[in-house]
Structure 1
């Protein structure tokens, strides 16, 4: 028998003292939460569908579903692991867990300064620490030195091989071919 008080004071008393109304149970919402047999979602009180199946051995199996869609998929014997919105699918395929996993730290490359084959590390450091005007002067000196060396090489080549001493000979003449016969007219 359900007792329904009429006055506000009586209603408050029933809320505060569940022993006045014996059929009313003092349960928290957490105890009343159930889990959908198909999707794995939480089912809150007064929500969802219940499906009772009686087996051949007179055993009753009770299934709770969050909505008609979950019940329909269950009765069609669809696999919840293949339905994308189910909790089981999301857990298997690692969906929605990005905020739980810490971002992997990328290793920063550390520069190591070391010698190159032709130069020691001290020589490299000395050149790097040179003033720009000293470096420019050294560059100009190296350029003028190489130009002088080229001029000297060209002069030596000219002296060893005078231009007018040898007549120019074609490759065929040098190989010993006879000249072509001159064309004669009748």
Structure 2
């Protein structure tokens, strides 16, 4: 069974039979008002769009549209490959396509060459590297960002 309902002119809520007031405007237009609050505010000539609890205000401020609106489409950024300084794009693609066994063999060959070079340098210099300072304490230079523990203000623990 369908119940004939009216809409409130101010709040746009449903008015069921036996509720609300029918007001005839000066121009002869009939207006249904659901509550005495709506009637009072209409007489005071308040705008429905400025009253937070009315549907007009909710429509104006885009409230309650989440369940009806479809999901907004997002743009995907396209990935672009660029050449790195010292290597062209073709070189990078060639390296990426070659098998890992070839790469590991090349890495091992490079390591072996470096070890041979170090051994040759050691033999040339006569086997004496840098001697450790006397006293047994060796100090290493530590970068600023790794050691110290001091912020911008510097120095003391409190």
TM-score by length of 1: 0.50
Q: SS state of the match for residue 32, structure 2?
A: strand
32, 37, 52: which one pairs with 1:69? 37
Mapped to 2, the partners of 1:148 and 1:138 lie a distance apart of 15
Query: Residue deviations 1:66-117, cap 9 Å, x none?
Result: 1233224445665533433312211221123345554332122222234322
Relative distance call for 1:105 and 1:37 in structure 2 (3 A) is closer
112, 115, 124: which one pairs with 1:156? 124
Mapped to 2, the partners of 1:84 and 1:153 lie a distance apart of 83
Does 1:109 pair with 2:81? no
**Deviation (angstroms), 1:145:** 0.8
Q: Any gaps of 5 or more consecutive residues in structure 2?
A: 132-158
Q: How many residues align?
A: 128
59, 62, 84: which one pairs with 1:91? 59
Relative distance call for 1:61 and 1:134 in structure 2 (3 A) is closer
Mapped to 2, the partners of 1:121 and 1:61 lie a distance apart of 75
* Structure showing greater Rg: 1
Q: Any gaps of 5 or more consecutive residues in structure 1?
A: 1-28, 164-186
Instruction: Kindly report the root-mean-square deviation, in angstroms, between the aligned alpha carbons of the 2 structures.
Output: 3.8
Relative distance call for 1:52 and 1:107 in structure 2 (3 A) is closer
Mapped to 2, the partners of 1:61 and 1:113 lie a distance apart of 68
Does 1:48 pair with 2:20? yes
| Residue 112 of structure 2: aligned partner | 144
Mapped to 1, the partners of 2:101 and 2:84 lie a distance apart of 25
| Residue 124 of structure 1: aligned partner | 92
Q: Which structure has the highest helix share of the two?
A: 1
TM-score by length of 2: 0.57
Mapped to 2, the partners of 1:53 and 1:114 lie a distance apart of 71
Instruction: Identify which range, 59-68 or 86-95, moves more after superposition.
Output: 59-68
